[in-house]
Structure 1
Amino acid sequence: MQFLAYILLYPLLYLISILPFRVLYFVSDILYILIYRIFGYRKKVVVSNLNLVFPEKSPDEIKRITKVFYHHLCDMILESVKSMTISESEMKKRFRFTNVEVVQDIENQNRSMILMCAHYGSWEWIFILQAYVKSRGNAVYKRLANKYFDRLVKRIRARYNSYLVTTKDIIPTLIKEKREGIISINGFVSDQSPKLDKAFHWNEFMGVNVPVHTGAEMLAKKLNMAVVFFKVKKVKRGFYETTFETITLNPKEYENYQITDIFLKLVEDQIHEAPEYYLWTHKRWKHRGQEPKSVG
């Protein structure tokens, strides 16, 4: 069944990927009507999340953010499909870096680094960074259930010397790279909600106490890697601007979870600037109120 789904859907995805951007966004507008207006995909989750973290906003403002978010979500879905065939020059034009020298300077010191980001803007297109650096790029991800689509996504990333590594494999992969002297840039989308049995740290995120992923910080300390946050700004439809901010070059100097808390604050600031581009369909706050009694 997995292969059948793949051979049925792959031609459609490929055809979408070769559409001119003008037509691609016309398809996105149709998808918006289906997802938001007809099927209401996770609309209750989105509105609930927004009301939870923005209690001061009026119903009209929540509705405005919701509608813009769903337009952006549809754009992002089709932009991900476009990654199958988009040229390097086109990608560079649409996903620009304001200060790529921050990453290049760390690379020139023969230091591996961890890039931390949130589900914000179009984080998927960060792989074009590999066109500006020499290091290997690793992106931590959860393996897709369909092995054929999983291989497809890996092939897309490999076009730019960027490789997907599962959460299970990332630790042995980075230890092996360090032992072999391989310099790498490792992307972590670190704002997800961890499983409760793996929640070692709780803190307020957007005013709500939640469990927080600490894996990126743990690896940075274990392997002495620099930690850099990248902030994505949506300039206009189909165009993004990314800015890097070094959190630390010396992670071992920080108290446990301090790096993670700095990251969370940066994400909060980014969301407050333009909340409509955060991934509100995630149940990020589902574990609120379930923290151990010893927390806080």
Structure 2
Amino acid sequence: MHKLVFYLSYPIIWLFSKLPFRVLYIISDGLYYLLFYVVGYRKKVVLDNLKLSFPTKSDTELKLIRKRFFKHFTDVFIESIKSFSISEEELKKRYRFINPEVANEVAKEGKSIILLGSHYANWEWVISLPFVLNIEIFAAYTKLQNKYFEKAIKKNRTKYGMIGFKTSEFIKYMVKNIKNKRQGLYILLSDQSPQVEKTYYWKEFLGVKVPIHTGAEMLAKKFDCAVINFSCRKIKRGYYEIDFKTITTTPKEFGNYQIMDEYLKITEKLIREEPAYYLWSHKRFKHKDKAPN
């Protein structure tokens, strides 16, 4: 059945991705109207998240941010499909890395790098990182029930040179590379909620105390990896700029959770600059009532 579903639907997805951007964004506008006004997809979740994060904003302001979020949300969905057939030239024009030398200088020193980012603006087109970085790049992907779709998505995300592996195998691959003295850059989107029972650290994020993923910091200290943050900003529809900022090249000199604190500070500043481009459709603060005093 999985094979049949794949062979019936994938050609449609591929042909859809071949449409020009101007047509795709017309479709995105229609999809936005359907999700927002007809289906009402997670409208309450988004508004609840915004109310917690921006308690001083009026209902009118928050609802306007929510509308802008959904318009952006459907754009990112369409752009992720477009990535199946977008040309290298087009992607370079639309997803521009401002200062890749920040990471390249660290790579030149022979250090492996943990690259921290968040679900902000467009994180899907980060597949183009090999265009500008002089280091092997490793990225985890979520295992899908349909192995045929999983294979197709992995092929798409690694077509420019990125190396993909399942999220469950991330640490195993990293340990293997370090033992074999294979230098690499490891991408981690660290703004998701960890399992509460495995939480070591709670911190205020957007004004709400939440459990924090600390795996990136622990790996950086264990293997002496540099930690660099990447921030993606939306310039206009379909165009993004990415900048890099080194958090540390000497992680062992940082106290417990100081690296994650710096990452959270950068991420929160980015979100507050333009909140509509953050991924608000997840229950960001579902564990807030379990926070220790």
1:167 deviates by: 2.7
Q: Secondary structure at the match of 2:85?
A: coil
Q: Deviations over 1:159-190 (max 9, x none)?
A: 11112222321111011111222221111010
- How is 1:95-134 mapped onto 2 (pairs within 5 angstroms)? 95-134=95-134
Residues 1:260 and 2:260 aligned together: yes
Which residue of structure 2 lines up, in the alignment, with residue 289 of structure 1? 289
- Give aligned-pair identity as a percent: 47
Deviation at 1:290, TM superposition (A): 0.3
Report the equivalent of 1:16. Answer: 16
Instruction: Please name the residue that 1:183 is paired with.
Output: 183
Aligned positions of 1:177-216 closer than 5 A: 177-216=177-216
| 1:111-260 superposed matches below 5 A | 111-260=111-260
**Contact 2:104–2:135 at 8 Å: present in 1 too?**
no
Shift of 1:141: 3.2
Q: Secondary structure at the match of 1:115?
A: strand
Distance in 1 between residues matched to 2:267 and 2:134, nearest whole Å: 28
Q: What is the identity, as a one-letter code, of the residue corresponding to 1:87? A: S
TM-score normalised by the chain length of structure 1: 0.96
- 1:66-103 deviation per Cα after TM superposition (whole angstroms, max 9, x unaligned): 11110101010011111111111111100001111101
Offset of residue 7 of structure 1 = 1.8
Preserved contact between residue 115 and residue 185 of structure 2 (Cα < 8 Å): yes
Letter in 2 for 1:76: V
Aligned to 1:73: 73
Residues 25-44 of structure 1 aligned to structure 2 (within 5 Å): 25-44=25-44
- Normalised by the size of structure 2, how large is the TM-score? 0.97
| Contact 2:193–2:213 under 8 Å retained in 1 | yes
SS at structure 2 position matched to 1:111: coil
Contact kept? 1:113, 1:226, Cα under 8 Å? yes
Moved more, 173-182 or 87-96: 173-182
Deviation at 1:4, TM superposition (A): 2.5
Matched letter for residue 100 of structure 2: V
Structure 2 unaligned spans of 5+: none
1:51-70 alignment runs, 5 A limit: 51-70=51-70
Structure 1: runs of 5 or more not aligned: none
| CA distance in 1: counterparts of 2:131 and 2:260, whole angstroms | 28
- How many residues are treated as equivalent by the alignment? 293
